[in-house]
A and B are shown apart, each in its own frame.
Chain A
Amino acid sequence: MEPIVFGIGITALTGALATVAGSAEDTESNIGSQGDPNSQVQLAPQMGFLHRIFNKAVAGEPPAYGLWCCLGAGLAWAFMAMQINPVLAIVLGCVLATFVQGVYATTAYVGRTASLAKFGQPVYVDILKSMTSVAMAHAFIAIFCTVTLCHLINAALGHPFPLPLLGLIWGIALGAAGSATGNPYYGKERQYQNQKFGAGVPISASGNIVRFAEAGERNSIDNGFFTHKIGGSASGICFGLIVFLELWRTVLFEQVSAGWGAIIVGILMILVFTVIDRYIEVWARKNYGPYSEPKEASS
């Protein structure tokens, strides 16, 4: 009984860490415009809309977070091999990985923005100074939480993969979950705040992103502040659920029927999420209704 209770406790802790990681990851990527909405940040000056939005998208979120989490985990692993306390080792490893993220963010912003020089888009040094540190702070939270949960999975739950490999795997999964869930909210709801609520952005409006705030020009910290409330929270819940449920079904049901218990519970959970998804889809169709008459639309 005691190992199961211990396992459930660790599972709950990893789920909580994953939730914080997912939320921080999405906010960091939105501050840096690293998800798919970066296309609009890059496109805007080409359409004549100069802006002060940070753009460090030279890699997708999953490979970028795969690199940073793998780096943080690898360095922490090396420090632990040098007999350094795991808590200190993880913090040191993540700090060093965050510096790499900072270098990446700086060179990416300068490189991407300089490529727009022919369209008159300036490289703002004040943006570089103020945004990079905020993005690094969020990245540290995301990397630290992910490396810590990987260490718990490895050391406390006994997963066979070494810490750097777990960092790579969960870093890629973190970026995948965060970009999938958080990108639409930043891309549609924030960048195109001037478009109608409750509808997609017409393709003809591409590039005309909102560039002004209540006072002065909008910057990426405003975007992080706005998107973390729904996009960030949803990303956090998404990654938290993935980590928690994956571990929970394994810890509790792996020994049932020689491994088939965890499989059956996994199938049941997939069915539950299928029903929830269908409910959400039908709810939206009933409550929001169609945009046009069926006859007109089908013509």
Chain B
Amino acid sequence: MSAVAAKPAAGGAMNPTAMAVGVVMVLILLGIGYVVSPMVLTYAPTVSPTFALMALIGVVIGGVLIGFGTHFVPVGGAPAAMGQAPGIATGVAMLAAGAGLAGLFGGAWAAEQGLVVAVVTGGIGGGLMMAITCMMVNFVYVFGMGIPSASGKVANDPITGDSQAEYKSQGTEGHGLPFVSFVGGVIGGLLGGAGGTLIYIELLSLYEETLPGMMQITSAQVMPIAVSAAGMFAVGLFLVNAVLTAYNITGTIEGPHDPKFKRWPRAIVASAVASALCGLVAVLIVVPL
């Protein structure tokens, strides 16, 4: 087949076989988690036999939240830096990580107040970071460069109904952040911050229970190690899922109104597989094999 006759690379097409393989891989990894979960009783006899499995499931849910949330973040990459395309002028994974980690910072601080409060606090932290950043991006475009916001993907803003085409300057695909992109950015920050915090809390509770028995030290002595290990795994899982999504949307996206947004089911499966594998490694360090 010649290059002309070949089908165009359909970035948005779903491959059912690959999706099914992905789901099977997640189930296999969770199955391994189910098998090894009772082994942590050696170090923490008081916890439930499925304690480690629950932590692994929490990590997978957190990873999926990060992967899904990254689709909302409006990122224009290099063209946005020249006002040639809408979005924030940086990398998807970079911005999502910045917002999510700011959320993780807040969520970790609230860890003592329970899972729900910590996860919501983490989400709000990420959302707040994105709200400030998106507002300042529009501030620079409008007051620093004299350029109004315009989307290149839709004729009217889906939220405000503002027409977009006539606000695009000549020879560009749009610029700045239309309101729908701003809202997308905040939602992305919320989901990313909540997902990162969920991963951190789940791993922290696992390490707090098991590390004292494993290392033969007191709970007070184990806290810095548990916090550091859970924090590093949360940061690592964040980057894994954000980069996976960056591939899925081929580097740039305007927000939830962008046609590329419809590719999210593929990223959900990929994030679940990657998170399950990384989460299993995080669990296995406290399992006596």
Contact = CB atoms under 8 A, between A and B. Distances in A.
B82 to A, nearest CB: 4
Contacts of B98: 62, 172-173, 175-177
A230 interface: yes
B172 interface: yes
B182 A274 contact: yes
Of listed A165, A169, A180, A262, residue having the most chain B CB within 10 A: A180
B90 A60 contact: yes
A294 B128 contact: no
Interface of A is mostly: helix
A198 interface: yes
A108 B183 CA distance: 37
Contacts of A36: 77-78, 80-81, 89-91
Contacts of B114: 258-259
A168 B235 contact: yes
A276 interface: yes
Nearest to A258: B113
Interface string B150-193: 00000100001011011111111111111100110010000000
9 contacts: A39-B81, A161-B231, A169-B104, A188-B83, A189-B144, A205-B171, A274-B131, A278-B182, A298-B165
B228 interface: yes
Interface in A202-243: 202-206, 230-231, 234-235, 237-238, 241-242
B140 interface: yes
A222 B158 CA distance: 42
Contacts of B88: 180
Contacts of A113: none
Given A176-B98, A203-B171, A242-B133, A160 B111 contact: yes
A192 B88 CA distance: 18
Interface in A35-84: 35-40, 60-63
Interface in B25-84: 77-84
Interface of A: 35-40, 60-63, 159-162, 165-166, 168-170, 172-173, 175-177, 179-189, 191-192, 197-206, 230-231, 234-235, 237-238, 241-242, 245-246, 249-250, 254, 258-260, 262-263, 266-267, 269-270, 273-274, 276-278, 280-281, 283-285, 288, 290-294, 296-298
Contact of A263 (B78, B117, B173, B232): B117
Nearest to A267: B124
